[in-house]
Amino acid sequence: MSQQITEPVTEENGAQGAAFVPDYLLYLLAAASEAASAQFHAKVRKMGLRVPEWRVLACLADQDGAMITHLARIALAEQSRLTRIIAQMEQRGLLTRRNDPADGRRVRVFLTDQGRDLAATLVPQAREHETALLELLQGKEGAQLKPALKSLLKVLEASSPE
């Protein structure tokens, strides 16, 4: 689990009265994600999954038959790494790969019954975990957090060179 960075303010680390890192947006996003994910990811690992595998299952629970490129974005994994993870999940009977009938060069990924059952167990637990996290925030902060993050993602994706 991540520890919050705090250090005394000195002339060397912040002439404006605050240290840089503890107030840096990218640090705050990463540290909040790590801290918020830790408990739920422990549950995921107890179910025999790695975090990218959980993300693939969750994505396929929403959109069965997704392509690997889409899954790589959702799983926050490089496509070549995710292809290996998907092959391992297929060997374990959690999903299957099939060529797209409209374009045989494309591969789509589908949950098996075993993968669907596992996703059906974990998705509600993830929703409960999310609700509990948002309830930790004061006032309207919980209700504002997801829309603010979605807005930030939309702007970043629109300005991305990819």
Q: What is the pLDDT of residues 102-160, one digit of tens each?
A: 888 899 999 999 999 999 999 999 999 999 999 999 888 988 999 999 999 999 999 98
- Verify that 56 and 128 share a domain, yes or no: yes
Phi first, then psi: give them for residue 95, nearest 5 degrees.
-155, 170
- Verify that 38 and 19 share a domain, yes or no: yes
109: part of which helix (H) or strand (E)? strand 103-111
CATH of the domain at 105: 1.10.10.10
- Verify that 69 and 143 share a domain, yes or no: yes
> What pTM, to 2 d.p., does this model score?
0.82
> Are the C-beta atoms of residues 122 and 94 closer than 8 Å to each other?
no
Q: What is the pLDDT of residues 15-74, one digit of tens each?
A: 566 899 999 999 999 999 999 999 999 999 999 999 999 999 999 999 999 999 999 998
- Verify that 42 and 53 share a domain, yes or no: no
pLDDT at residue 87 in the model? 97
Q: Calculate Rg over the CA atoms of the chain.
A: 19
- Verify that 41 and 103 share a domain, yes or no: no
Res. 12 pLDDT band, cuts 50 70 90: low
pLDDT at residue 138 in the model? 87
Tell me how many domains the chain contains: 2
Residue 4: is its pLDDT beyond 60?
no
- Verify that 5 and 51 share a domain, yes or no: no
pLDDT at residue 51 in the model? 95
- Verify that 114 and 35 share a domain, yes or no: no
Q: What is the pLDDT of residues 60-103, one digit of tens each?
A: 999 999 999 999 998 999 999 999 999 999 999 999 999 988 88
- Verify that 26 and 56 share a domain, yes or no: no
- Verify that 92 and 103 share a domain, yes or no: yes
- Verify that 42 and 57 share a domain, yes or no: no
- Verify that 42 and 104 share a domain, yes or no: no
pLDDT at residue 31 in the model? 96
Can you give the residue range of the structural domain that contains 149? 47-159
Beta-carbon contacts of 123 under 8 Å, excluding residues fewer than 6 positions away, are 58, 61
Q: What letter does residue 6 receive in the DSSP assignment? A: -
- Verify that 103 and 120 share a domain, yes or no: yes
Cα(first)–Cα(last) distance of the chain, in Å? 32
Res. 10 pLDDT band, cuts 50 70 90: low
